Amino acid sequence: MKNYLNGALVIGSLFIVGCSSLVQKKELANIIIINGTILTMNEQREVLKDGVIVIKNNKIISIGSKDLLKKYNAKKVIDAQNGIVMPGMINTHTHASMTVFRSLADDVPDRLNRYIFPLENRMVSPEMAYIGAKHGAVEMALGGVTTMVDMYLFEESAAVAVKEVGLRGIMTQNIIKYPTADGKEKGESLARAIAFVEKYKNDELITPGFGPHGPHTVTREELLKIKELSEKYNVPVSMHVAETEFEFNKIKKEFKMTPVQYLDSLGLLNERLIAAHNIFVTDSDIELMKKRDVGIAHNMVANIKSAKGISPALKMHDMGLRVGLGTDGPMSGNTLDIIGQMGYVAKLHKLDTKDRSALPPKKAVEMATIGGARAIHREKELGSLEIGKLADITIVETRSINMNPIFDPYSALVYSANASNVEFVIVNGRIIVENKKIKTVDYKKVIEATNEFGMKVKEIAVTL
């Protein structure tokens, strides 16, 4: 009897082991997103209805149908509730710290020289750069932006704020030939930029770089030095290029070249350059920028608000140049979300070309995502939802009244959505916006700090 029982136990144990081996053990991930319409923005521009994205550490490890739920478990499951799941948007040009000056002297002629430069000389400090950048980074995060390209003074302070919020930042220290708050002596701003690059060159979220203000506002000597340094450190250069008629005419008069040709003569027109604005560019300039593989930051709203003109960015895009969208600074375009830019870009280029079919919604979304990644030469890591890419993801809810009905998710994003429809934002595999609330910093304290500094701005502004 004893032997019989022992035999039965052995057989029963083998049966249990055999059955359990038939049950697939699920792989543990960090985050799984379910029940969303996924705009992959991959090369085929696949759209996955009721799709699933699996995130482990800081990368996307799988993307597809609900069948993936048989293979993966996660510590955190996000139910997109039929929302639009898209790559995190990329703001290819801004000056985030200038949020503290927003809405000041709007529409005043010669605003740059009458208000912006004087205010900066008297008020910009490490504290101001930190407060303004933190405010700007929170605004971008809440609007679905996951990567920003910034250029400003005391950029080392801005970088601290951007990291606290959790955004990915290409942060470039401003260099200009005039005395500034962070560069009163010749060469001081450039030295500050070098120290900044050295400090952040291996950071996971912050990519440091050089930010020469413009072809006409930086000396030829310093532009040549920046070219040399950007090559040495292999870091980006963010720069205003062909933004105004004044700049175009000045460079033409002094050097017998367009601003684009002038930068090319210095060796700065290359794959490290992110050129902002590009309003006054010729056909030959565009060909040259394509040949040199330059990144283009298209700042439609800021350009038209300042009545400077409409950049031929659509033509550049269709010719294969690397075109992304930017907001410019919050004193120029006022808002920092890319969703708002998409609608303006689509509509203004239709008007400019007198063609209703020009720049359809899908193309606008391309510029906001994979186009922005191409503009910063990081399309292998960012800009689309694909296996192996960094987990920078935005989820736009579709429950709000302005989002219904939806027949085309691209049209809904470009013509219906606004920043307040952004519900979740993930950067580098970390949730930084959840249920429309910033998780990384105290929202109320950010607003309070900005408003307190705003009182100081008012005191100075009345004297200008």
pLDDT in tens, 261-281: 999 999 999 999 999 999 999
pLDDT tens-digit map of 317-330:
999 999 999 999 99
Count how many Cα atoms sit within 13 Å of the Cα of residue 184 in the half-sphere of its side chain.
5
pLDDT tens-digit map of 191-226:
999 999 999 999 999 999 999 999 999 999 999 999
pLDDT at site 23: 53
Asked if the model's pLDDT at residue 15 lies above 70, the reply is no
pLDDT at site 405: 97
pLDDT at site 114: 81
460 found inside a domain? no
The CA-to-CA distance between both ends of the chain, in Å, stands at 104
Give residue 4's pLDDT band: very low, low, confident or very high (50, 70, 90).
very low
Query: How far is 347 from 229, CA to CA, in rounded Å?
Result: 40
Query: Which token pair is 322?
Result: 């690397």
Across 68-74, average pLDDT: 97
13 found inside a domain? no
The amino acid present at 240, given as its one-letter code, is H
Q: Is 396 left (phi over 0), alpha (psi -120 to 50) or beta?
A: beta
pLDDT at site 107: 83
Q: What pairing do the DSSP bridges indicate for beta strands 322-325 and 295-298?
A: parallel
Identify the residue with better confidence: 116 or 189: 189
Across 353-360, average pLDDT: 96
379 found inside a domain? yes
Across 25-52, average pLDDT: 97
* Residue that the structure tokens 């809440």 belong to: 142
Closest CA to 383 of 103, 119, 89, 65: 89
Give residue 9's pLDDT band: very low, low, confident or very high (50, 70, 90).
very low
Structural domain including 254 reads 89-383
187 found inside a domain? yes
pLDDT at site 112: 76
Across 335-342, average pLDDT: 96
Percent pLDDT > 90 in the chain is 86
pLDDT at site 24: 65
Rg (CA), the chain: 25
Asked if the model's pLDDT at residue 2 lies above 60, the reply is no
Asked if the model's pLDDT at residue 459 lies above 70, the reply is yes
The amino acid present at 292, given as its one-letter code, is R
28 found inside a domain? no
Give residue 10's pLDDT band: very low, low, confident or very high (50, 70, 90).
very low
> 52: Cβ–Cβ under 8 A, 6 or more apart, which residues?
32, 33, 34, 62, 63, 64, 65, 66, 68, 69
Query: How far is 70 from 57, CA to CA, in rounded Å?
Result: 20
pTM: 0.93
Query: How far is 438 from 68, CA to CA, in rounded Å?
Result: 29
pLDDT at site 294: 98
Among the ranges given (7-16, 23-32, 182-191), the one the predictor scored with the smallest mean pLDDT: 7-16
Across 96-104, average pLDDT: 92
pLDDT at site 461: 77
Asked if the model's pLDDT at residue 21 lies above 80, the reply is no
Neighbours of 193 (CB within 10 A): 27
9 found inside a domain? no
pLDDT at site 285: 98
Percent pLDDT > 70 in the chain is 95
Give residue 7's pLDDT band: very low, low, confident or very high (50, 70, 90).
very low
| CATH code (residue 182) | 3.20.20.140
Provide the number of structural domains found in the chain. Answer: 1
354 found inside a domain? yes
Among the ranges given (30-34, 102-106, 176-180, 446-450), the one the predictor scored with the smallest mean pLDDT: 102-106
Q: Average pLDDT, whole number, for the chain? A: 93
Identify the residue with better confidence: 416 or 464: 416
425 found inside a domain? no
Asked if the model's pLDDT at residue 17 lies above 60, the reply is no
pLDDT at site 108: 80
pLDDT tens-digit map of 276-307:
999 999 999 999 999 999 999 999 999 999 99
Give residue 331's pLDDT band: very low, low, confident or very high (50, 70, 90).
confident
Q: Give the full edge-to-edge strand order of the sheet including 273-277.
A: 89-94, 145-152, 168-175, 206-212, 237-241, 273-277, 295-298, 322-325
Neighbours of 449 (CB within 10 A): 18
